[in-house]
Amino acid sequence: MTIQLCIMALLNTVLFGWICLLFLLSGGAKLAGLQLMKDSFVVFSGVFPLKSFGIIPDPDVYRLTIGVVEFLGAIILMLGPVGWKKLTYVVFFVIMVGAVHTLIMTGESHMAPFPASTGAILLYLYSKSGGHKKID
């Protein structure tokens, strides 16, 4: 194994671990009902991406739904089969797109690069997650 492959394997492992930890802690904070999360989701539900279609979620249901998806998704990434991991990367990517939208709509666009870069990392990990066939 060349040094470049070792470095790439290390990078993939670090990124994977970071994503798992990020979503495990983020989902856990939402599920724990921290006051900061409760207050944030009152604002977030007001700028929900489907609001123009008349869909405005209850802030607590919204927070708990995202929290469950993030927490369980992190566990699936750590323990699940490849197919479930790939699906989880896609779901997490959609959540990050929603996070960028929410931050822009709430006037906190200076924070948008964080979920945007997390989304880019998710796409990278998805492409490296295996389980797909090469076309010759």
pLDDT tens digits along 99-127? 999 999 999 999 999 999 999 999 999 99
pLDDT of residue 132: 57
pLDDT at site 10: 92
Contact 30, 70 (CB under 8 A): yes
- With 0.85 as the threshold, say if the pTM is over it: yes
CB atoms closer than 10 angstroms to residue 92:
24
- pLDDT at residue 25 in the model: 97
**Biggest CA pair distance of the chain:** 55
- Confidence (pLDDT) at 114: 96
In this prediction, residue 15 carries a pLDDT of: 94
Residue 2, token pair as written in the block? 């060349």
Cα-based angle 84, 117, 119 (whole degrees, multiple of 5): 25
What's the pLDDT at 136? 46
Q: Break the chain into its structural domains and give their ranges.
A: 3-128
Residues of the chain with pLDDT under 70: 1, 131-136
